[in-house]
Amino acid sequence: MTTSAELGLPALTVSPGGVATTTLTVRNETDIVEAYSLEVVGACAPWTTVEPARVSLYPGTSETVTVRLAPARSPDVRAGEFPLGIRVLPAERADLVTVPETTVTVTAFHELRAELAPRRRRGWLRARYRTSAQNLGNAPTTVAFTPAQAGEDLRFRAAPSSLRLEPGESGEARLRVRTRKLIWFGKPVTRAFEVTAGQDVAAADQGKPAAAERRPVLNGEFVQLSIFPKWLLALLAALIALLLAWFALVRPAVQSSAKQAAAQAVDQKVAALAPTPTPVTPPGSTGGQPSGQGQPGAGQPSSTTGGGGSGTDAGPAVPGTGQQSSATIDVQTAGGGSAVGSYQVPQDKVFGITDIVIANFQGDQGLLTIKFGDQTITTIALETFRNQDYHWVTPINVSAGQTVTASVTCQQPGTPASGKQASGCHELLNASGELSDLKP
């Protein structure tokens, strides 16, 4: 004596969102009236029902019930093959329980949800967007984002280029949009584009083609701005007009006034530096002056002033004792520092300087100050020259014991001809002229 049960189909195929049915026949082969409870077991139990779920049978009789399979269209119902079992449990003879089984194949479906954020961006040359996708299907899939534009104004780059998503899983990729050229002036230009999200057929498992699916199309816009606003053109035009007016009207008057002022200053300087004429006294005549006061060396020393009014006080030189001489001052200092080089006129000598040559062979930057004795001859920016020379028709006399000094303030060492920047500033000054004896 036993209980037998048999499913109507050895295998079933069902699509998510659809319904599939089969039958189950239960036979009472015992000698008593028996009630049977019918219960679905296995992975298909959440979406499988038996109608009716309980039957009562006389000995030797049977009954057929309906088994209904209705999986939801959801990522929770995975695609694949699953066993389906129905437990047939007798109420009186529980030891005669039986479980007939079959195989259920759940077909795959593909569905994507995709978004592009933000939909619109503004920029001069490029913009960045976020593309996201969620796999609403019941099978793993590889999602690819394919951007496109009607023209050839934009270039696209997605990172990563594809996403591997399990059922119900979400992923995100970055999309960079770049224009091919800038807009310098004018109004903003709106450039529309599309991004298609769909299964990457090339990356599908075993090269199988993707099932028919709806491929979401995401619309986006890139608003390209001009580099310079439109009002800047009007401003530039106004500035150019003002500059032209200044060059045409104002500048000539300013230059004329500056030239007149410079000419007056030069005339005043020349008048101040002109030597006072000494009256010529005939032999044997004092010229109305006390003896010893009209000629140099007659009781008081004379003063010789160099050209340009920058001379230093020096004693009278002995005629015929002068000889050409020169002195070189070498000044070296580190960047950011200062240094002074000097040459001292020997005792009982007068140095009448007629020329100086300054060499800034490295192209250093800083300041150079030249002094003859207590008189400052010039202060010059090093970056304005490489070689500079000065010449005086009337010598500048530097007396015995006084010095010719070159003071250097180094702001930045230059680069010599070797091509390697120097570690410090290096300047050379050469002073030349006539070195004469002093009158005793």
Look at strands 217-224 and 120-123 and give their pairing. Answer: parallel
**Given this chain, do its domains 112-224 and 309-437 carry the same CATH topology?**
no
Distance CA 115, CA 171 (A): 11
Q: 186-228: per-residue pLDDT in tens?
A: 888 999 999 998 876 555 544 444 444 578 899 999 999 988 8
C-alpha R_g of the chain: 54
Q: Which of 2-11, 236-245, 266-275, 304-313 has the lowest mean pLDDT?
A: 304-313
For the residues 153-177, what does the mean pLDDT come to? 92
What CATH class has 3-106? mainly beta
Indicate the pLDDT class of residue 331, thresholds 50, 70 and 90: very high
Architecture of the CATH domain 309-437: Sandwich (2.60)
Which are the contacts of 216, defined by CB distance < 8 A and separation ≥ 6?
A: 112, 113, 114, 196, 197, 198
**Is domain 112-224 in CATH 3.40.228.10, yes or no?**
no
Q: What are the boundaries of each domain within the chain?
A: 3-106, 112-224, 309-437
Look at strands 338-344 and 323-334 and give their pairing. Answer: unpaired
Spell 54-86 as b/e; 16+ CB within 10 A means b: ebebeeeeeeebebebebeebbebbbeebebbb
For the residues 149-170, what does the mean pLDDT come to? 90
Q: What is the pLDDT of residue 355?
A: 94
Q: 48-90: per-residue pLDDT in tens?
A: 999 999 999 999 999 999 999 999 999 999 999 999 999 999 9
Indicate the pLDDT class of residue 246, thresholds 50, 70 and 90: confident
Q: What is the pLDDT of residue 226?
A: 86
Q: What is the pLDDT of residue 283?
A: 41
Q: 352-411: per-residue pLDDT in tens?
A: 899 999 999 888 999 999 998 888 999 999 989 889 899 998 999 898 889 999 999 999
- Find which of 185-199, 293-307, 330-344 is predicted with most confidence, using mean pLDDT: 330-344
Question: How many other CB atoms are found less than 10 A from the CB of residue 364?
Answer: 25
| pTM score of the predicted model | 0.47
> Residue type for 303, please?
S
273, pLDDT greater than 70? no
Q: What is the pLDDT of residue 335?
A: 84
Q: 85-121: per-residue pLDDT in tens?
A: 999 999 998 888 999 999 999 999 988 999 999 999 9
Would you state the structure tokens that stand for residue 240, as one six-digit string?
Answer: 């150019």
Would you state the structure tokens that stand for residue 277, as one six-digit string?
Answer: 């004429």
Indicate the pLDDT class of residue 27, thresholds 50, 70 and 90: very high
196 phi/psi in degrees, rounded to 5: -100, 125
